[in-house]
Each structure stands twice: as C-alpha cells, then as structure tokens.
Amino acid sequence: MSRISVRGFAVASATAVTAVGSVVGVASGSTAQNNDAEATAADATLLADIPAGQQAQVQTASLTQQADAQAISADASAKKDAEEAARKAAAETAIAKKEAAEKAAKEAKDRIEAKSAASRDDARDSSSFPVQSSYSVAQIQAMARQMVAADQFQCFSNIVDHESSWNYQATNASSGAYGLFQALPAGKYASAGADWQTNPATQIKWGLNYMNDRYHSPCQAWSFWQANHWY
C-alpha cells in the first residue's frame, strides 16, 4: 500500500467517525454541526480511495463503539431503576410490618380488657354475702372464689397471700396499711362499701376493682408484683 493510500485510510477513518457525529449533531439542532457537515463532505472523496472492505471495517468499528456506549448507559440506568424499586419495596414492607404489629397489639389489649370486663360482670357482688361477726381464712377465700374469675383467682390469691395471708384485719403498725390488700391509707376501702373494716367481701371487691382498673387483671397485677414486690 502506498503512502497516499495509508494517509487516505487514516483520513477516511477519522472522516467516518466525524460523519456519524455530524449526523447526530444536526439532529440535535446545534449550529456547530454545519461546519462538521462541510468538513465531512470535503473528506468524503478520500473515503473512496479506500477499498470497500476496509471502508466497511471503519464504519463497523464506529458503530460498534456507539453501540457499546449505549449498552453501558442502558445498564447503568437499569441498575439505578432496580435499586430504586428495591428501596421502595423495602420501605413498603417495613410500613406493612409496623402496621400489622400495631394492629396485633391493639387486638391483644382489647381482648384483655374485654375479658376483664366480663370477669367483673360475672363476679358476685360483695353485698350478696351474709354479714358475720368473724370470718375464717377458708370463708374469705370462698368469697373470693365467687367474686373473682376462675382463670384469675390464683394470681389474685398470690397477691393476698403476700400482702396479708388472708387476714382481713391485718394492720401494718408502722405505716397503717390495712386489710387483705394492705391499702394505704386504709380508708381507700370505703369506695367499695362503708363496712370495709368488718366485711372481707367489701375488701375483696375493692382489691379486685383496683387490680382491674390499674393493671387490667389480677394476673397482670401479679406479674407486676413479682417484678417489683408491690403493686
């Protein structure tokens, strides 16, 4: 191959690349492409000096280069879209789990409160027991069994065991706490009945109401007592 041919091949290679860029530039409306188009037209005659096979190689190489660049750009865009979709899906999953947990917690609380309310409704009232001059531990426990729901009685009993050993007249000499539940001040029992000093059923009513109102149930009150040794 002569020098002229070699030079022609190089110029033609550059011209082919320029020609492609010019076409793209003209499509975008840039004013600079006019000069590129003129240069391309001037150099186009040099491309004719290169054999047809080599012309095809030059054009193919340029087109391959553009295709590779477009593929890289498409891959980057697809990766970005996939990452964004994954982040969105993770956020939606986290929100759904949080809502499900909150719903489950509310349902559990509602069940406990409904059960406690049912227990209060089913319990025998303290006024239905005959008044006696004194009561044995067994009699007091029998009263409690009729006033406290069966599934709550053991927890209720555990607290009374620790507080007074079922002595409805138990008095703490130092603090003045009184009765089955060691209420302080002792006058708190009056909210359940005026005979609180002589009627253990009235004290039982007060203690059950206290546990239900403060802890939702005797068993939850007992759980608190175990952790703190008071309730």
- Within a domain: 101: no
CB distance 202 to 185 below 8 Å: no
In whole angstroms, how far apart are CA 84 and each of 26, 73, 87, 92?
35, 17, 5, 12
Of 194, 214, 192, 198, whose CA–CA distance to 147 is shortest?
192
pLDDT greater than 90 at residue 172 = yes
- Within a domain: 111: no
- Within a domain: 100: no
CB distance 62 to 17 below 8 Å: yes
Amino acid 37: pLDDT: 53
Same domain flag for 157 and 76 = no
Give the structural domain span for 188: 123-228
Alpha helices per DSSP H over the chain: 3-28, 33-47, 52-122, 137-147, 150-164, 200-215, 218-228
pLDDT greater than 50 at residue 28 = no
With b for 16 or more beta-carbon neighbours within 10 A and e for fewer, the 42-52 pattern comes to ebeebbeebee
Identify the burial level of 160 via C-beta atoms within 10 angstroms of its C-beta, where 0-12 means exposed, 13-18 middle and 19 or more buried.
buried
Provide the whole-model pTM.
0.49
Same domain flag for 56 and 145 = no
- Within a domain: 59: yes
Amino acid 49: pLDDT: 58
Read off the pLDDT of each residue in 43-68 and give the average, rounded to a whole number: 67
Give percent of the chain with pLDDT exceeding 70: 69
The residue with greater pLDDT, 220 or 118, is 220
- Structural domain tally of the chain? 2
Q: Is 159 helix (H, G, I), strand (E, B) or coil?
A: helix
* Domain boundary residue, one of 80, 110, 139: 80
Same domain flag for 132 and 218 = yes
The residue with greater pLDDT, 60 or 221, is 221
Q: Which CATH number belongs to the domain containing residue 207 in this structure?
A: 1.10.530
Read off the pLDDT of each residue in 138-158 and give the average, rounded to a whole number: 97
pLDDT tens digits along 66-107: 888 888 888 888 888 888 888 888 888 888 888 888 888 887
- Within a domain: 85: no
- Within a domain: 191: yes
pLDDT bracket for residue 119 (50, 70, 90):
low
Same domain flag for 71 and 155 = no
pLDDT greater than 70 at residue 162 = yes
